[in-house]
Structure 1
Amino acid sequence: MEWGEERVYSVSDITFYIENLFESDENLTDVTVVGEVVDCKTRNDHLFFSLKDEQASIGCVMFQGAHMGIHLEDGMMVQANGDVRVYPPRGQYRLVCRRLRHLPDRGLMFLKLKETYERLSKMGIFDKPKKRLPKFPSTIGVITSRDSAALQDILRTISERFPFVKVVLYHTSVQGKGAKEEILKALYDANLDELDVVIIARGGGATEDLWLFNDEEVVMGVYALRHPVITGVGHQIDSVLVDLVADVAAHTPTAAAQNAVPDMREIVGNVERSLQTCFTNIIRLWNRTKERSDELLLEMKRGVTQLLDDFEKSSKQSLEKLKTLIDGKVDSLNRKLELAGARLNLLNPVAELERGYAIVEKDGVRVHSSRELSPGDVLMVRFHDGSVKVVVDEDRRADE
């Protein structure tokens, strides 16, 4: 390959040139590397991992068949043998391993993580009671990078599910130099503000990229937050110490946002179902009430009709009894009147006059004896059909 000032090379030209350099360099062929295993995963039957020391890391791959029977996990110390080669599609160099040998010691990163976990565990940091997330938050704090895909995922998810929420961003770098100080400041600032919930988020990455969230000071900063905390660091397979002190540990930033806010579509659906159920129950209750009302009205009608019939029969019986009683009383009174009339007739002087007797009065006074009369007295003689005036002519008492 010839180099010239005016010539423009393609990406492939540069990459293939570097690839030839690697393949022709004896120092990069059949090399043995010692390091700590991180980001170990299997994909399409190929084993992918990185070897790391305190200053650098190198990507490694063992192709299908070469890693059969090998058990590998993060934190192991291994000795790997193979060739350092370029992977053109990504422009990356990596160690294509042929052989692996486990070393007895654990890696420094694993040992440091274990030490941090055990120290915090003895302090009871991981036993802190979990706070309950609000059902309908109004203000959410998000601790992440303003330029990250994680932030866009969170904003999109909140906008789709519950767009009424105010989102306050606490920008921080999530890896690299100065990231620890920035995230500690973001945690401090968020703790001063009035928030309903705090999301701490970062997209997926290599183990060393996520190592910030295993830092003891960062874990204690999350522990000190007075607000409910949701973590969404890495991908589903990733796990960091801040997840253990969070109130909810989500698998991804999107899942963290889903835990932070309700879904309006579900709420509307639940309201619609509740209203439909309520309406159905009202209709059912109305129908039951109407049926029962009809039954009660029919029973009342029958009862009133029966009462009226009973009252009519009772009234007729009472009237018959009253009529019989009145007739008896009238008959008794008639008999008494007849008897009294007969008695009155006996005492009636007119009746005596009708039998031929007369009443003699002198000066308006009834005469009872002839000795009360003298010749020349003017008398009034009353008969049953009239009265006459007479004069006493002579005294015949001596003759009688």
Structure 2
Amino acid sequence: MSFIDRVYSVSDITFYIENLFLGDPKLTDVTVAGEVIDCKSRNGHLFFSLRDDYATIGCILFGGAYMGVSIMDGQMVQVTGDVRVYALRGQYRLLCKRLKLLPSRGTMFLKLKETYERLSKLGLFSKPKKSLPKFPSKIGVITSRNSAAFQDILRTISERFPFVKVVLYHTAVQGEEAKRELMKALLDANSDELDVVIIARGGGATEDLWLFNDEEVVMVVHSMRHPVITGVGHQIDTVLVDLVADVAAHTPTAAAQYAVPDIREIVEKVRHSLKLSFVNLMTTWNNANERSKELLKEARRNSIDLLQRFEMRLKSKFGELKSLLEDRIDSLERNLELLRIKLDLLNPMNELNRGYVIVEKNGVKVRSKNELNENDILLLRFHDGSVRVIVDEDRRIDERT
């Protein structure tokens, strides 16, 4: 088999390249200066990249955090180390032995600072934030249709609030056409009737996220009439569109969480509210029941007191009436006694008892002898009976003579 016909394994090629690096003295103890980007600390080691206007190289400083080395994106540094191949990923990187900070700033940092200051003077970063709708019905998502960020947003919204409609405005998020497509997606979303707009992109290197620091992009996002949520990069990434957005989320998933409520939390809140309402209702009912019992007891006590007072007053009035009636009866009895005495005085029987006689003629009392004639029959009434007599002579003549 000829050399051309041989099939090599990935390891064969990688180890061959690694040996080339190890055998090249120009790649050992080499000193490189550049702008720090994508700086991260992991397990005490510093991982970062150095860039200039034309290229980028990955770097690692083992134990850098323990050495007290502190660097950040945008700084200019000078490092010395060995360029080696990382066989596991088929990448080359600079294994740093020494690191020195340079007084100047990198071009990316200076460009970002210049853009920030210019937009800040225009007041873009001080505009009032629009509030997010509590229950949106239509959400626009500006990202790549093939991105993991879009799938994360769809999954999150489906789990939290599946009643909302999601409209995708596809755009590349890096590359030569990315800015043009992103600007078009922003303008399209701004012309549609939406409740909220999510601008999303997964994590990446600083250069990959640089599109979202572009001045024109930032100004279009600032002019959006809908509330805007950004979810660009990872938690540690911050771009200028975050500063003009109404809500800046750390990740696309977090942006989706801001955009919609969690139906499970809503159900739980409703359940808790109903439970609390029921408890309050039962408490109110029990309090009202206890109060009604107290009022009933109080009413009974008041009724008894009222009846007792009424009985006492009735007895008092009855005593007064009785006393009045007794006085009246005594007065009547005295008046009757006086009438009796007067009647006794007028009773002719009393005169008869004293020896007087009542003379009647034809049932009429005789008051004068001149009323009598001879042979008249008279009735003489005594106190113990009556007798009849006849007038045998007329004495009136004698009395006249």
Calculate the TM-score normalised by the size of structure 2: 0.85
Identity %: 67
SS in 2 for 1:208: coil
Give the equivalent residue in structure 1 for 2:357: 357
Please tell me whether the aligned partners of residues 229 and 246 of structure 1 are also in contact (alpha carbons under 8 angstroms): yes
Q: How many residues align?
A: 397
Q: CA deviation at 1:64?
A: 3.9
Give the equivalent residue in structure 2 for 1:73: 72
Amino acid across the alignment from 2:198: I
SS in 2 for 1:207: coil
Of residues 249-258 and 63-72 in structure 1, the stretch that sits farther from structure 2 once superposed is 63-72
Give the equivalent residue in structure 1 for 2:4: 4
CA distance in 2 between partners of 1:311 and 1:43 (Å): 94
SS in 1 for 2:110: helix
Q: Are the structure 2 counterparts of residues 168 and 380 from structure 1 closer, same or farther at C-alpha, using a change threshold of 3 Å?
A: farther
Calculate the TM-score normalised by the size of structure 1: 0.85
What are the equivalent positions in structure 2 for 1:1-400 lying under 5 Å apart? 3-5=3-5, 7-24=6-23, 28=27, 31-64=30-63, 68=67, 70-348=69-347, 356-361=356-361, 367-375=366-374, 381=379, 383=381, 394-400=393-399
SS in 2 for 1:232: strand
Amino acid across the alignment from 2:261: P
CA distance in 1 between partners of 2:63 and 2:229 (Å): 39
Q: CA deviation at 1:368?
A: 3.6
CA distance in 2 between partners of 1:217 and 1:80 (Å): 35
CA distance in 2 between partners of 1:69 and 1:285 (Å): 65
SS in 2 for 1:35: strand
Please tell me whether the aligned partners of residues 171 and 186 of structure 1 are also in contact (alpha carbons under 8 angstroms): yes
Q: CA deviation at 1:205?
A: 0.5
CA distance in 2 between partners of 1:255 and 1:224 (Å): 23
CA distance in 1 between partners of 2:300 and 2:181 (Å): 85
Of residues 140-149 and 34-43 in structure 1, the stretch that sits farther from structure 2 once superposed is 34-43
Of residues 208-217 and 154-163 in structure 1, the stretch that sits farther from structure 2 once superposed is 154-163
Q: Structure 1: any 5+ residue segments left out of the alignment?
A: none
SS in 2 for 1:131: coil
Q: CA deviation at 1:39?
A: 1.2
CA offsets 1:220-243 (integer angstroms, 9 cap, x no match):
111111222221111111111111
CA offsets 1:335-360 (integer angstroms, 9 cap, x no match):
31232133234334566567643344
Q: Are the structure 2 counterparts of residues 262 and 325 from structure 1 closer, same or farther at C-alpha, using a change threshold of 3 Å?
A: same
Q: Structure 2: any 5+ residue segments left out of the alignment?
A: none
CA distance in 2 between partners of 1:162 and 1:121 (Å): 36
Amino acid across the alignment from 2:358: A
CA offsets 1:158-209 (integer angstroms, 9 cap, x no match):
2222223222222211111111111112211222222222221111110000
Q: Are the structure 2 counterparts of residues 349 and 3 from structure 1 closer, same or farther at C-alpha, using a change threshold of 3 Å?
A: farther
CA distance in 2 between partners of 1:66 and 1:299 (Å): 80
Please tell me whether the aligned partners of residues 66 and 99 of structure 1 are also in contact (alpha carbons under 8 angstroms): no
CA RMSD between the two structures: 3.2
CA distance in 2 between partners of 1:56 and 1:67 (Å): 29
CA offsets 1:241-287 (integer angstroms, 9 cap, x no match):
11111122111112222222223333333333333333333334444
